[in-house]
Amino acid sequence: MDNGSNTLDFCNLKVVSALGRGAKGLVFLAKINEGQNEKQWLALKVVSKAFVRMRNSSHCKRVSFEQQILRRFNHPLLPQLRGVLETEELLGFAIDYCHGGNLHSLRRKQSEKTFPVDAIRFYAVELVLVLDYLHSLGVVYRDLKPENILIQETGHIMLVDFDLSKKLNPKSPQLLSGISSPSSDSALLVDRRKRLLPGCYCCHSGIMPLDSDSQLGTNSPARSESDSVEKSNSFVGTEDYVAPEIITGEGHNFGVDWWSLGVVLYEMLYGMTPFKGVNRKETFQRILMKQPDLSGENTPLRDLIKKLLEKHPDRRIEVHEIKCHDFFKGVNWNSVLQIARPPYIPQNDVEDKAGFSRKDVESFVRKIFFKNDNKEEKPKEVEKKKINGANQNKVYNKNQNTVWVDKLTDNPTQNEDFLMF
């Protein structure tokens, strides 16, 4: 399928199950029913038109922005827009489905709920590359967290969910270089996403795979980010991962993504986020006032985390310093994607089930976002509940911002985690 030019329709689209929920939309596992793409699994993100209309105008803009930005991507660690869908009730778009779930779920499957250092280095390298590429486009991501870092069937990551991202206009002409396309290496790798990448940059990590029933599914110029780009004053992000300057409202730029990377690396190393409090107020207070507890031997990884979690954005480590840090010693940034061997390769089997109709999907979306099917009432905030007859012991986990769904009367999911993203 061409990038986003394909119009999807429930007549040729087979929707198999629900994968996750966000603030404004739902993600379904789907596939094309005909033609050469019949075996290609897709993640179909849909939003309710009625729900978006009830929110302020910024929500409409974000829905449009995410589609627009997906059309621009040409990078092996970012999704490609595979098609768009529209009905009287829904707007949607499809990207490639990632068989390996997300980094949060993969970490929780590890025996110590943490990753070995070699595995952390592998994922850190790829996160630095993809954030650097986004920043070269003038895009600040603003929602980096393990739930948004998916694992492709090759074992490489894919960063998803761009509805909180923002375009910042570079003030320095040098920042515009590299915007039109990624490096030739990255462009080449886009066509190789379906292949396992052999290589010599190995991670002998002992990564434990997800359970079989879990279907979660360019070097830019050196720059002083704080001096060279405009700032945003929006308050966005997931509370454990937001940078201090977002909390204070003093304006933020690309540096917030590097802060969030520090939180993600800390979580991969210690199995928890560094500033978690008993409630949002305490979490924010710790982000502003508390230094991260980097207990253990003084290592390059801990030093990198410390520099990423610098509270003052003007003193926080930036991309060129990150790439030169001792933790990445020996990494060839121009070719690492071609020679890196992922620490975990997921199984690619997806159970093909009977599909659901447009009516089924629309009914499911209404039940998730509205109190009942008949009225467009103001949707509730995410609350502690079980959905449509779920009778096992999975409930809304407030600490993890996750909704667990076991059974749905109209749209039974696979036995899998139903994620908030």
For the chain, the structural domain boundaries read 7-97+350-416, 103-339
Domains 7-97+350-416 and 103-339 share a fold: no
Instruction: Give catalytic status of residue 143 as yes or no.
Output: yes
pLDDT at 328: 98
User: CB neighbours of 49 closer than 8 A, spacing ≥ 6?
Assistant: 88, 89, 90, 91
Enumerate residue ranges in the chain where pLDDT < 50: 1-4, 171-206, 208-229, 233, 373-421
pLDDT at 302: 99
Pick among 3.40.50.10310, 2.60.40.640, 1.10.510.10, 1.10.132.20: CATH of 103-339: 1.10.510.10
pLDDT at 192: 41
User: CB neighbours of 103 closer than 8 A, spacing ≥ 6?
Assistant: 123, 146, 147, 149, 150, 151, 157, 264, 268
Choosing from 9, 96, 132, 143, which is the catalytic residue? 143
pLDDT at 21: 82
pTM: 0.74
* CA torsion, ordered 407, 412, 416, 421, to nearest 10 deg: -90
pLDDT at 62: 73
pLDDT at 163: 85
Tell me the average pLDDT of the chain: 75
Class of the domain covering 7-97+350-416: alpha beta
